[in-house]
Structure 1
């Protein structure tokens, strides 16, 4: 039986509405809410009208296996898993059910040893120089927050005027898990925020505190932020053909965050500081940024050279013959 949207609403109206309200109360971003509602609706269609409290772990596993076999990435499969887990957590909290059949299902293993794609410092500067348009100062401020403060797209979207402290050159950022962190800003970034603030558009709704306002007078959406970055990347790629350091791989807003983390480590910041700046709950997540460049490897070998005695080289040569 294939459930239509009308069937789905009729059968699962209460749990879906409960999940929607639960996510609003928990402070999920609109982007996450949209994805999770879509993922859960997809799952509910596969259980063919079965009450949510009667769903088994096997059914969740079967759904995720089907999703994986359709060709999606492990990350997408794991997102759907998280959505179902959160759905049942919401139903548990609201005392609609007492079970969570997704809780014991393991996540798919994703690549953990692959260095993240990032831009070199000169590429970041070239990228930022492509910020353009009628609202250039606003757009440049958005891009600089991701490039030189490591903000996620959703964090830029949520930034309010009250979160920026011009006199201290800091911002308060609401990250994942509803956790706040304070980020000191480079002077150039703080100055750009001041320019953006001076040209801030008037919101259509009184009391709107969003730092970045769209031309429609609303909080700048996640999609608009992504579009601003895409336009700058497209401009840079048209001029250069393709970005050499990228080796043909695509860039996105999150790659700016990778670039920020890489630059911090190269500048001598310890990994614990980088963890705090990025807002990672676990330091294990931050260790992916401890990759080193070929140049750094060559420099390390050069520093080792004075400690290699000539007789050691003779021994190595004699062994080879």
Structure 2
């Protein structure tokens, strides 16, 4: 029965909340883990028993050494699921997870590449092959716009307007935003569409902007792999993720005087508090530059 309720909840997230497929897949993975725990420990489905199940489940996650961020994510999914069962679906008379509190997560600043590292990464692809030209266009667009990897691989050719210099991005929850595209990215996108895209697509009918060598839409996993390969070629000490380019995009804009509200709009953040993490990064950078550059910053008092 719990598995049936889970499928109904996931459909609710898709239809009523309009959540992206990747988000729903993450909910499915986390909640299936909980459902398996309930079945293994033979908890019943009345609210009191489910409340005990939630508590035992959290205890087991902590005892197994899961990161606080993982526990918090699974608890958030569990609380959403239980709230749905009690309020929207009416399967439970009250919410068994309502009073559960999330573990405190230590703030971790996202990894950001320096501008010179971005330059090395973006120039790593060899543009004398269709795949290399595609990769250069993809990396340039990722850094030029700060798009999420799911947004990037979800682009269609008609989402681009290179004459006007912008791309139409379909973000989380189906929300659309318009993001400017810089001249360097425009150049490589034109080159890719004129010289590489037709050779990759061949006779296949597709609207996808970034395609693999068989003409199918490029996947998120493929983007992670190509970033890892080019990071190694560029001599970077650690492989950046697509989100690293997004973080770098935002941080470099703020370091060069961009308004926080503008960066929020470009990133597609619903709340500005999400964008404010980058102000911590820029202040850290300012302090580092000050300590390095000011002649009396490292001296002790006489």
* TMscore range, shorter length: 0.7 to 0.9
2:262 to 250, 265, 273: 273
Q: In structure 1, what is the equivalent of residue 23 of structure 2?
A: 32
Which segments of 5 or more consecutive residues in structure 2 lack a partner in the other structure?
Answer: none
1:69 to 51, 63, 88: 63
Q: Aligned pair in 2 of structure 1 residues 115, 186: CA closer, same or farther (>3 Å)?
A: same
Aligned residues of 2:20 and 2:173 also touching (Cα < 8 A): no
Once the two structures are superposed, residues 29-78 of structure 1 have per-residue CA deviations (whole angstroms, 9 ceiling, x without a partner) of 44333332221111011212546563534432331332233222222222
Supply the distance in 1 between the matched residues of 2:154 and 2:45 (Cα, whole angstroms). 33
1:118 aligns with 2:109: no
Supply the distance in 1 between the matched residues of 2:9 and 2:214 (Cα, whole angstroms). 30
Supply the distance in 1 between the matched residues of 2:55 and 2:142 (Cα, whole angstroms). 36
Q: In structure 2, what is the equivalent of residue 202 of structure 1?
A: 201
Please show how residues 207-246 of structure 1 align to structure 2 within 5 Å: 208-237=206-235, 243=237
1:60 to 54, 59, 63: 54
Q: Secondary structure at the match of 2:230?
A: helix
Q: In structure 1, what is the equivalent of residue 74 of structure 2?
A: 80
Q: In structure 2, what is the equivalent of residue 296 of structure 1?
A: 289
Q: Aligned pair in 2 of structure 1 residues 270, 21: CA closer, same or farther (>3 Å)?
A: same
2:122 to 107, 121, 128: 128
**1:263 CA drift (Å):** 0.7
1:157 aligns with 2:146: no
Which segments of 5 or more consecutive residues in structure 1 lack a partner in the other structure?
Answer: 1-10, 244-248, 306-315
CA RMSD of aligned residues (A): 3.1
Supply the distance in 2 between the matched residues of 1:24 and 1:203 (Cα, whole angstroms). 34
Q: In structure 2, what is the equivalent of residue 187 of structure 1?
A: 183
2:6 to 2, 8, 16: 16
- Name the count of aligned residue pairs: 286
Q: In structure 2, what is the equivalent of residue 108 of structure 1?
A: 103
